[in-house]
Each structure stands twice: as C-alpha cells, then as structure tokens.
C-alpha cells in the first residue's frame, strides 16, 4: 500500500506545490481538490467513491440545515443534522466495526452477521468526524454554510491532514478555505515545521520502534519485568514521535499552501496529571469529543453520578474510535477510570504533592496505557501487564534487557529530551544572529539524514494510518 511509506509523499509534494502556485488565485481550490483526490485515489482507488459520497451528502445536508433554519423550521434542521450524523456513523460502522461486531457475536454463538473482510478506507475515522461536525456547526450557527461544493470538497479532502489528522473542524478552517494569504515567511515556516516533523518520524519514531518490536515478539516464558517496561517505554516514545511527527508535517504542509491548522500536541509527557495529559495529547480529537459529545451530554454541569457516566461514555467512544478491538475499548475505559478518580479526589491530593511526584505518577500510568493500546491480543496483553507488575515468567530482569537498554541508550536519551520543551527553550536563548545562520544548516541536515534513512529503509508506516 502506497501510504505505508513516505516515498509517494516526497514524490507528490513538489507536483502539488508547483501546480498550486502556478494556478490563478481563483482556481487554486479547484486545483487543490483535484490534487487531493489524486493523492487519496493513488492509495485507495476504489474508496474514492466513498469520498465523493461523503462530500456530496454532507454538502447537501449543510444546505438543507441552512434552508430549514432560514424558514424557522427547527424540526427540519434537526432532522437534517441527525440524517448527516447517522450517515457518517453508519459509514464508519460498516467499514471499521462490522467485522469486529460480527466476530464478537459469532464467538457468543450468534453467527447471523457474516464477516465481510473489507479493507478499512484510509483516514475514514478523521474525515467522517470532520464532515459530521460541519452540519452540526451550521445548525448551531458556529459556521456559515459553504455554497461552493468545490470549496467544501477541498476542505474534506485537504491532503496534508486527510490521512491521520489533526481533525480540523470546518468552523476553524472555513474562512481560510474561502480566502487565505500566501507569504514567503509563512511558506518558510511551513518548510521548517515539516522537516522537524519528518525527522521526528523517520529518525526517532522508526528507530525507537525497533526496540518495541523486539520486546513485543519476546515469548511469554522469556519476558521479564524490566524488559516489559523497557518495551512499553519504547512504544510510548514511538507513538508520540510518530503521531506528533505526522501532525507537524501536516501543519507544515498546510502552511506551505496558506492554511493554519491547530496544534495537535503540547509536550504531553511533562504533564502532572492524567487530566493535563489529555489537554496536551491529540488535542484535536479531545476537542472534538468535548464539543460534540461531552458538552451536549451535560459536561461537568451535572450531578456527580451523571458526570462519571459522561466520562465513561466519552472515553469508551474515544477508545473504540482508535480501532475495532477490545484492547482499545479497555484503553479508553482505563483513562475514564483514572479521570473519574482524579475528579473525585486525586487531583486535590496531587495539587499538594511535589511536581516531580505528579510527573512520575502521570508518566507511569501513561506508559501502562500504551501497553494496553499496543497489544491487541487480550491473552498476550494479560501476560504483558502481569510481567510489568512483577509477574514475569522470566523474572525481574535478564541479560537481554541490559543488551537492548545500552544498545538503544543514545536514542532513548535523545527521545527523552526531545519529548520535553528543554531543547526549544535552549534554542530560544541563543542570540538571534547565530540562530538565523544555524537554522538552514540544521534543517538541511535533518532533511538529508531523513532522506538517507528513507532510501535505506523498506517500510515506514505511520501508526495512525490504520485508525
């Protein structure tokens, strides 16, 4: 599959930029729409039809909502919104969850739903949420209806963030779709952000991922407690640099085309509570669930039992959004329980604790969560979690742990520093002139090293492409 590597993006990006910038301003959205669709169709030629259907149906529903509102027909407008939501959720369920539900029912002796074995359309979890929020925001009055289907199609298919986010709401991008500025400074900053994201993905995530792959494959009888924690820590770094790297690349590509996307990560591993962690991790997803599910359910302006129910429901949905597997549901419920405990009493206790204690508490719980997230087989997950908490068949540690730890120590140290604001803070303290001289050389070095790695590597998957 083409999207399993960065090669196509590298080949396609110059074509996109050239075609986009030679086109007259009034044609650029149309040109971008065609280029977006080619980008998507190259990896999923059949599923381009789903993209067309999604554009047409949600564009039409937005127009219906606006028409009913102009006639003071609130019931009709609400029905149009409900119809849009049902379509998008049905689309998501059919492709992403049908086989999961069918398999679960078959395991319970209810085999009336056949497995279809359909390939998951790339990015469907992202663009269905984006188009669904469009009609909701038009109804709420938070966004103007888009009269141009070309402009709306450009929003839905915008290739920098089409595949793995960040999730962009139309109300935040609508004005930029209609009219945006292009400056040399904006383009240059986009290149800088793109190269940083590329280096995160290729030089850090891919390499640290090899350590996780090694421990994930260790037989149960050889798994040690120290090794299980080392593997979980490696995956924690891998998923952060993989996903934040892609998000940075998307933001950078957006700037090259005149768009400003929201920041998706804010150094989540320095958080001092799980509540704070989820304000810093995958910000666009957390914002979406808060605005379109948590707040409509009453948010925190409800009784304590209802608040806890709201958190359970939202985090169950957040977990299962990531994938059709029981471990993702457990992952979501794990965070729901932690957030409920923090709202009930833990946050008050944490506020009185030293900052280092709060950070260690958060980081340990987050690393455990990534073990739940990464191991999809529940039997293997139980063995892995048992090993993490001292029940490893291989004992507490072993020679393999020392070998892998010291072999990967340099990249682990770099990843640890790079996941904090320390490097950025030190960079800002440099005098302005050396910064201007050094920056182009550092970016060029990052680009060359990343490109060299890509040429040598045969497989460069983005973890979130499968969600």
In tens, the pLDDT along 254-271 reads 999 999 998 899 999 999
Per-residue pLDDT, 457: 63
State the catalytic residue, choosing from 61, 182, 282, 322.
322
Cβ proximity of 306 and 315 under 8 Å: no
The pTM score is 0.91
pLDDT band, residue 30 (cuts 50/70/90) = very high
In which band, very low, low, confident or very high, does the pLDDT at 5 lie, cut at 50, 70 and 90?
low
pLDDT digits (tens, 9 = 90+) for 112-162: 788 888 888 888 888 899 899 999 999 999 999 999 999 999 999 888 777
Q: What is the mean pLDDT of residues 217-245?
A: 92
Which of the pair, 43 or 87, is modelled with greater confidence? 87
pLDDT at 4 over 50: no
Cα angle 62-154-180, degrees, rounded to a multiple of 5: 105
Q: Read off the pLDDT of each residue in 352-371 and give the average, rounded to a whole number.
A: 96
Q: Which of 6-15, 162-171, 292-301, 311-320 has the lowest mean pLDDT?
A: 6-15
The mean predicted confidence, pLDDT, of the chain is 88
Q: What is the pLDDT of residue 466?
A: 57
Q: Is the confidence at residue 2, as pLDDT, over 50? A: no
Annotation says 322 is catalytic: yes
Residue 343 has pLDDT above 90, yes or no: yes
Which residues in 343-446 belong to E strands, given as ranges?
none
Q: How far is CA 11 from CA 186, 228, 335, in A?
A: 22, 39, 40
Distance CA 163, CA 169 (A): 15
What distance, in Å, lies between the first and last C-alpha atoms of the chain? Answer: 15
* pLDDT attached to residue 461: 59
Residue 191 has pLDDT above 80, yes or no: yes
Q: How many CB atoms lie within 10 A of CB 367?
A: 19
State the helix-helix crossing angle for 355-374 and 225-256, rounded to 10 degrees: 90
């Amino acid at each position: 599959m083409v999207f399993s590597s960065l090669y196509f993006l590298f080949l396609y990006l110059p074509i996109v930029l050239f075609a986009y910038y030679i086109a007259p301003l009034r044609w650029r959205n149309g040109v971008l729409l065609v280029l977006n669709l080619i980008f998507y169709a190259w990896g999923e030629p059949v599923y381009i039809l789903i993209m067309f259907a999604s554009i047409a149906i949600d564009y039409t529903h937005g127009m219906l909502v606006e028409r009913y509102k102009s006639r003071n027909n609130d019931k009709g407008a609400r029905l149009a919104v409900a119809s849009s939501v049902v379509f998008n959720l049905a689309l998501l369920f059919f492709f992403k969850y049908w086989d999961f539900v069918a398999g679960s029912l078959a395991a319970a002796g209810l085999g009336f739903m056949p497995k279809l074995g359909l390939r998951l359309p790339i990015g469907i979890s992202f663009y269905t949420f984006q188009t669904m929020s469009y009609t909701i925001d038009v109804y709420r009055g938070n966004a103007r209806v888009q009269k141009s289907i070309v402009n709306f199609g450009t929003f839905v298919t915008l290739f920098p963030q089409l595949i793995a986010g960040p999730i962009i709401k139309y109300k935040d991008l609508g004005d930029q779709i209609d009219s945006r500025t292009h400056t040399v400074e904006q383009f240059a900053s986009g290149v800088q952000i793109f190269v940083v994201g590329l280096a995160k993905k290729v030089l850090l995530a891919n390499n640290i991922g090899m350590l996780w792959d090694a421990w994930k494959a260790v037989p149960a009888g050889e798994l040690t407690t120290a090794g299980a924690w080392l593997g979980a820590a490696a995956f924690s770094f891998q998923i952060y640099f993989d996903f934040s790297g892609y998000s940075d690349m998307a933001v950078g590509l957006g700037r090259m085309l005149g768009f400003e996307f929201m920041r998706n990560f804010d150094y989540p591993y320095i958080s001092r509570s799980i509540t704070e962690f989820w304000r810093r991790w995958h910000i666009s997803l957390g914002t979406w669930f808060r605005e379109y599910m948590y707040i409509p359910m009453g948010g925190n302006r409800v009784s304590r039992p209802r608040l806890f129910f709201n958190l359970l429901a939202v985090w169950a949905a957040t977990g299962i959004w990531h994938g059709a597997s029981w471990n993702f549901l457990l992952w979501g419920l794990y965070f729901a329980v932690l957030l409920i405990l923090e709202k009930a009493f833990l946050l008050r206790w944490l506020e009185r604790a030293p900052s280092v204690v709060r950070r260690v508490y958060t980081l340990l719980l987050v690393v455990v969560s990534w073990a739940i997230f990464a191991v999809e087989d529940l039997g293997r997950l139980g063995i892995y979690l048992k090993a993490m908490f001292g029940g490893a068949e291989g004992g507490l540690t072993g020679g393999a742990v020392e070998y892998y730890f010291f072999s990967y120590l340099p990249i682990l140290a770099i990843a640890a520093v790079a996941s904090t604001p320390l490097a950025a803070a030190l960079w800002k303290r440099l005098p302005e002139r050396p910064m201007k001289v050094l920056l182009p050389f550092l970016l060029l070095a990052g680009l060359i090293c990343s490109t060299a790695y890509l040429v040598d590597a045969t497989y460069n998957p983005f973890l979130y492409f499968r969600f």
